[in-house]
Structure 1
Amino acid sequence: MPASGQSYGVVGALKAFPLRLAAKRVAALGGRLHRSITRGTTTVVFGRTLLSRLSEGEIEHRVEVARDSQAILLSENGFLRALGSLPNTAPANISRQALLEQSRLDGDALDLLTLFDAFEHHAEPFSFRDVILAKKYAGLVATGASWGAIARSVHQIGPVGSLTALTLQTGTDKILARDTHSLAELDGQRLLALPEIADEAEDYFGLAENAEAAELFAEAATLYEHCSSIDSSDATAPFNLGNCLRKLDDLSGAALAYVTALKRDPLFIEAWFNYGGVLRDMGRIDAARQHLARAAELDPAYADAIYNLGALEYDAGDLASARDWWRKYLVLDDSSDWARRARAGIGLANRVIHRTAG
């Protein structure tokens, strides 16, 4: 899958190199990259650092959220191959279903292990060596190993293909490898450990996300601002900064943050929408209209933007335009509370327009 035209949302830091370098590479190839999933995201990449930073349950939750977005899910190696930074794997011809049948590995475990590069191929078709690995993993799962323990362990020994020559067994919270000479943990003891590549921006970003989730918006804003200053290619940090400042009623600060996000990524749909909301709150109706309309133009299925355009026109006294926007909204949503409000608004607009015409 080439990077050109793709919008990548990266969940977690990459193991290979900092996200700011990945963002530059993606931009050079004609794509876009965010540290999160946005409305324009076409492909979600899962960085392998998640394995050491989050619990298996939290990782599984983030995978489900990504699947709900309807975007393509891609492993870190798959992403690097799309960027041309990692050689393509050898041709293979084994389907996912055939691999499951031959290995007896659970389908959910297979998908998660694939997403975190526990196989030579990051997607089907798989190879015969992948089948061997799947059989070994199925044996580990049968003896009590979790997919996360397997994924964390296999990357400690080098290329995963080298595991095909070892006998694997489950230890206490770790996977052990047995060869003809010894039993050892898959912890790199026999290898020269590769140095960790620090991504300071990612560290701050993770802390900021935690603070925001805890509704510590001032603390989160400080962290997002620092993250934004470290990585000038990242549009997500200033966008999140704007959201936090808006929660703190700092509208001018939020507006500046959204401007920064849009300068870094002019196709950031949620930034156009949220900036439009701030401009409306500031009484800058014409500018708010332009920004909300841009969000709707970039994503014609963005129901919230369309509804808010109707509300903005209604408040501005242009009832005919409000009615038109709300009719468009009902094409996208005809059953929610907001749909009922849109119908009520259309009815009220019709009555006022008819009364004025009469």
Structure 2
Amino acid sequence: MALAGRTFGIVGALAAFPRRLAAREVERQGGHLRRGVNRQTKFVVFGRGLLAKASEAEIEARFDSESGQRRRVLSENGFLRLLGLASAPETSALTRQSLVDQSGLSPRHLDLLSLFDAFEHDGEPYSFRDLILARKYAGLMASGAGWGAIARSVHRSGNVASLTALSLHHEGKDTIYARRAEGLSELDGQLLLDVGSPDEEALEDLFAQAEAAEEAGEYDQAAAFYQRYLAIDRTDEVAAFNRANCLRAAGREAEAAHDYARAIKLDPCFVEAWFNLAGLMGERGRTDTARRHLRRAIEIDGDYADAIFNLAKLEFDAGNLAEARRWWMRYLELDQHSEWARAAERGVQFVNLHLLSRTAG
């Protein structure tokens, strides 16, 4: 299967397709779908719900971060097309650069608007209708509209291609209007393919409340929100992992260990869960268990520098100097410039001197 072993992460709530159905289809094709992003994530889907939760600057920063990690970013429609659940309109021949040159829309705004399906196509090749839309969006932005306002508004009219026949205007920065015979009106209508249920929306809101409480440092409250979420959806390993992190921050270590294990049971390749559980076991003096968990994390992700460094430190503290040196040397293959790299170099030097003195003696 084309998606076998691939991990997808979702940022923001989906509007075009229920998450549970998307997860089912990804699993059917041999992949994995998670909330959020971790080291295993290869594809990041930007849900349109993010437009209602985050500012333009926050979304741009997230887009830059995920793109910089060499992950493939997808719009909702791009995600559906990759899964084979939707097809792009057939008439498309324009390159990204050609669309930029002919429309006056900046490359960055083209990418951001494509990310939220403001065009017929989520990427090149684009269509002639996409060029018409790009010119309209460029005109709106030249007169002061934000790209986020455009992205939030366009799906209210149904299929975005229908906007090619409308004269678009804006008042202030945040509202886009169409000029019709009766005057200006908002782009009212249902969201494209909006088949989500109220229960699903409530679940998304509950997860968002948990994340907000966690970000604010209200760890007990966040853990309670995540627990309510998990009572509804028992299969979400990310919620279990996040709850474990909150419980650990709140000093509830036994409960945290249980939820890390729960996340691992739901996804045995959840490398961050193995790593964090190892750290918790190390803090509780369970060195052998911590060692096993760190080794498992490294088996899953051989370039996981943090796990490698922590395993070297654990072996050093346990007096296994040759093993510590081996893992520090491996760490230095991945990182030569950070403060952690300096610490690894000092560790290697110490072990070398110790072994040399023991040999000389």
Q: Under TM normalisation by the shorter chain, which class is it?
A: over 0.9
Structure 1 CA distance for aligned equivalents of residues 288 and 91 of structure 2: 56
The verdict on how the C-alpha distance between 1:72 and 1:324 changes in structure 2, with shifts beyond 3 A counting, is same
Matched, 1:352 2:354: yes
Q: TM-score, normalised by structure 1?
A: 0.94
1:236 aligns with one of 232, 235, 238: 238
After TM superposition, list the pairs within 5 Å mapping 1:81-230 onto structure 2.
81-172=81-172, 173-180=174-181, 182-188=183-189, 197-198=197-198, 199=200, 200-230=202-232
The verdict on how the C-alpha distance between 1:288 and 1:165 changes in structure 2, with shifts beyond 3 A counting, is same
The verdict on how the C-alpha distance between 1:7 and 1:249 changes in structure 2, with shifts beyond 3 A counting, is same
The verdict on how the C-alpha distance between 1:280 and 1:134 changes in structure 2, with shifts beyond 3 A counting, is same
Structure 2 CA distance for aligned equivalents of residues 208 and 300 of structure 1: 32
- Match in the other structure for 1:27: 27
- Match in the other structure for 1:302: 304
* Deviation for aligned residue 1:79: 0.9
Contact 2:17–2:194 (8 Å) recurs in 1? no
Contact 1:24–1:233 (8 Å) recurs in 2? no
The verdict on how the C-alpha distance between 1:340 and 1:194 changes in structure 2, with shifts beyond 3 A counting, is closer
Structure 1 CA distance for aligned equivalents of residues 97 and 197 of structure 2: 36
Alpha-carbon RMSD: 2.1
- Match in the other structure for 1:337: 339
SS of 2:114's partner is helix
Structure 1 CA distance for aligned equivalents of residues 23 and 12 of structure 2: 14
Q: Deviations over 1:94-120 (max 9, x none)?
A: 111110001001222111110000001
Gap runs ≥5 in structure 2: none
Structure 2 CA distance for aligned equivalents of residues 152 and 290 of structure 1: 48
Contact 1:169–1:176 (8 Å) recurs in 2? yes
- Match in the other structure for 1:312: 314
* Deviation for aligned residue 1:37: 1.0
Structure 2 CA distance for aligned equivalents of residues 3 and 195 of structure 1: 24
* Deviation for aligned residue 1:281: 1.7
* Deviation for aligned residue 1:282: 2.2
Matched, 1:260 2:238: no
Q: TM-score, normalised by structure 2?
A: 0.93
Residue type matched to 2:55 in 1?
S
Structure 2 CA distance for aligned equivalents of residues 167 and 220 of structure 1: 46
Q: Deviations over 1:260-310 (max 9, x none)?
A: 111111111111111111122222222211211121122222110100110
Structure 1 CA distance for aligned equivalents of residues 189 and 204 of structure 2: 25
Structure 2 CA distance for aligned equivalents of residues 281 and 234 of structure 1: 26
SS of 1:10's partner is strand
Residue type matched to 1:137 in 2?
Y
* Deviation for aligned residue 1:228: 2.4
